[in-house]
Structure 1
Amino acid sequence: MRMSKNGMVTKIHTRIRTEPFTANYELVGRELGRGKFAVVKKCIEKATGKEHAAKFLRKRRKGEDCRMDIINEIAVLESAKANPYVVALHEVYETSSEIILVLECAAGGEIFNQCVADNDEAFTEKDVIRLARQILTGVSCLHRNNVVHLDLKPQNILLTSAKPLGDIRIVDFGLSRRMDKVTEVREIVGTPDYVAPEILNYEPLSTATDMWSIGVLTYVMLTGESPFLGDDKQETFLNISQVNVDYSQDVFEGVSSLAVDFIKSLLLKNPRKRATAEECLKHPWLNSLPHPHSHPHPHLHTRPASSLDEPETSQSESEPESPAPSPELDLIDSYLTYPGQGELKTGRDAFSFGEPPFPTRPEIPQELIC
């Protein structure tokens, strides 16, 4: 596999079609989502009548040619073809200004919607166990192929259906990198609430970086609260660097102690001490149903909708609202999640420092704070 020095794959096998996209697909309904450099639309394949999601990615962004970033995303999707929990890539088209990824359509929307839902719509612990097993099975497969996602969060986990609760699909591989024993990747990428301490410290990234995000993701799915979210980015990053997590019964009311133990095995500052995806799949919590007296976590009745920067308007299951970047986070939405994205945006330049690269020092750099 051909790779650049920063872990981006530069060679793909998928044929890039150059005939007009509209010759083979009909766009239907309104947009599923829009960002600065991408738009996602539902489409019907004329030959089969099947529904897909078309992700239109601009090749030039802020005056720079970003075609190779898109090639890397395609290569990662190719390598995950046999992975049942990664969104399937169907075809690729290219025009003078865009590359179009034709993807599997996951009609159930983001799991984020249920994380912030009212009590009767929220996940039960039993739901979270099933979905966490699927997420970890998918991520374990990625990690065996030396692929690190680097932006795992509820907005990037879709459902095949919302009612009944379907299976998960991991999406948005715009930040993904391929790791090997030779390549050392240090980058400031991700979404503030979900980034691991090693990202803030500009230390080498690894599969353990994803495992931290899965710990945060599980916390959010069970409680509806973001464990590290502060009043501003500086406080959020300080909470992450100090691993300042609330495991109190107030937060985890109605949630089993095994679930808390599972999260604690992941939210560890030292990446080498975190459980791997394979180890997580053997954890007792994922191999036992919750206690019969467990109920959906009650916090969602009292928790303000703004605590995850999510607007009160709900997103429909099949056509989520067009995404809008959160002003507090000031992130660049270079890569748009398909088919819908929550308010916490991320992108290629989410934490961009320009040259020279961000210095290796323990304190949080001003560039991340302002």
Structure 2
Amino acid sequence: MIRLFKKMGLSRKKDSKIEDYYDLGPEIGRGAFSVVRQATHKETGESVAIKAISKQHVSDSDMKRFTREIEIMKKLKHKNIIQLIEVFDSNEYLYLCLELIRGGELFDKIVEKGQYSEKDACNLVRQIVSAVEYMHQHGVCHRDLKPENLLCSADDEPEEFVRIADFGLSKIFEGGEELKTACGTPDYVAPEILECKPYDTSVDMWSIGVITYILLCGFAPFYADTHHELFQKILDLEYDFPEPEWSGITDLAKDFISQLLVINPAERWTASQCVKHPWLAMSHEDKELKSLDSAISSMKDYVKNREASYANILSKVRASQSTPNLFNNK
């Protein structure tokens, strides 16, 4: 994909038509206001993902958010961050041409693969931390790190990789700046956001702690039947490493999580500190790390429940509005 990125500009002229440059393929994703389709560049033959956003169905504030997302993605060039190739802007639609990641969402891929160990989890977390360290160094706070926003390579690709996606809630910040907007997904949100306190990039590190926990056992560290109970457990830091799911998982892995699930953001480890943590820094080549079969089983249930919850939310959004025809039925 690198050759393609170099040849294309990030923004075409306003009257450019996306159909003049791409052959549009099947739909591969859908949101409340957008549709994602696979496409092929007519000159290079490269496959991409095109996210189409209907301007008619979004508010001015939403359009500002999409514009900010584009500006942020222009800044970020890292092997573990999905790449924005170019943008088409018409009167009715905004099209984002993105790097096509063929392996799908990370947790789905793990469940499908069926073979998985602590070493694999460590490799995945190492890539996520590397990308987040890069983002923070370039003044970007993601603010919505979660499994759905982690995409992975396909089985036939030579290298197993993770890409961080969806920068819709991300924010560019200046050194020392504090953020105040409450955002994120409940299972992964940091306590300072729940308490409506000013926060900084350390909220991303909390989310990595939650993601790492799930990658190792298949379920979240904080669980409750209601959001109120869930928030209270987070604020009370009420979690543990229960048996038998955590038996055999190294103390280094547990220590890594413990450095991130910290109430005081000033004491929470940064991405640069995490890179040097022994669990990530070691190659683990000479160690037999536990196969996480029970984690795969639990993760399967986790994915199923998450998909049901998302489908319910999306159906309510669609019921309140007409679904936009984003590709003119092509």
CA distance in 2, matches of 1:91, 1:209: 29
RMSD over equivalenced CA pairs, Å = 2.7
Q: Distance in 2 between matches of 1:196 and 1:58?
A: 32
- Tell me the TM-score normalised to structure 1 length: 0.76
User: What is the CA–CA distance in structure 2 between the aligned matches of 1:89 and 1:286, rounded to whole Å?
Assistant: 28
Please state if 1:98 is matched with 2:93: yes
Match of 2:293 in 1: 298
- 1:141 maps to 134
Residues 79-114 of structure 1: per-residue CA shift (max 9 Å, x gap): 102x22111111100122221110101111111214
Q: What is the aligned partner in structure 1 of residue 102 from structure 2?
A: 107
Alignment check: 8 A CA contact 1:24 1:47 kept: yes
Given candidates 93, 98, 122, the residue that maps to 1:129 is 122
- With a CA cutoff of 8 Å and minimum separation of 6, indicate the structure with the bigger relative contact order: 1
Task: Output aligned runs, 1:280-359, within 5 Å.
Answer: 280-288=274-282, 289=284, 292-300=287-295, 303=298, 305-310=300-305, 325-327=310-312
Distance 2:32 2:315 in 1: 13
Deviation string, structure 1 residues 173-221 (Cα, Å, up to 9, x no partner) = 0000112246432112111110000111111121100000000011111
Name the counterpart of 2:265.
271
Task: Quote how far apart the aligned CAs of 1:310 are.
Answer: 3.4
User: What's 1:245 paired with?
Assistant: 239
**Which secondary structure state, in structure 1, belongs to the residue aligned with residue 206 of structure 2?**
helix
One-letter code of the match for 1:141? Y
**In the alignment, which residue of structure 1 is the partner of 2:183?**
189
Deviation at 1:249, TM superposition (A): 3.4
From 15, 20, 30, the counterpart of 2:17? 20
Aligned mates of 2:315, 2:201 — CA distance in 1:
27
Output the amino acid matched with 1:239.
Answer: K
Query: What amino acid maps onto 1:20 in structure 2?
Result: K
Q: Given that residues 34 and 54 in structure 2 are in contact (C-alpha distance below 8 angstroms), is that contact kept between their aligned partners in structure 1?
A: yes
Give the aligned partner of residue 37 of structure 1.
33
Q: How many residues align?
A: 307
Q: Does 1:208 align with 2:193?
A: no
Corresponding residue number in structure 1 for 2:214: 220
1:282 deviates by 0.4
Q: Kindly provide the amino acid, as one letter, of the partner of residue 92 in structure 1.
A: V
The aligned counterpart of 1:80 is 76
Which whole-Å CA distance do the structure 2 matches of 1:279 and 1:311 have between them? 31
Give structure 1 stretches of 5+ with no counterpart: 1-12, 313-322, 334-370
CA gap of 1:260–1:236, structure 2 versus 1, over 3 A, is same
The Cα of 1:76 is off from its aligned counterpart by: 0.8
Query: What secondary structure is seen at the aligned counterpart in 2 of 1:244?
Result: coil
In structure 2, what is the Cα distance between the partners aligned to 1:327 and 1:108? Answer: 25
Tell me: CA distance 1:169–1:273, structure 2 relative to 1, closer, same or farther (3 Å): same
Q: Which amino acid aligns with 2:104?
A: G
Q: Secondary structure at the match of 2:245?
A: coil
The code of the aligned residue for 2:312 comes to P
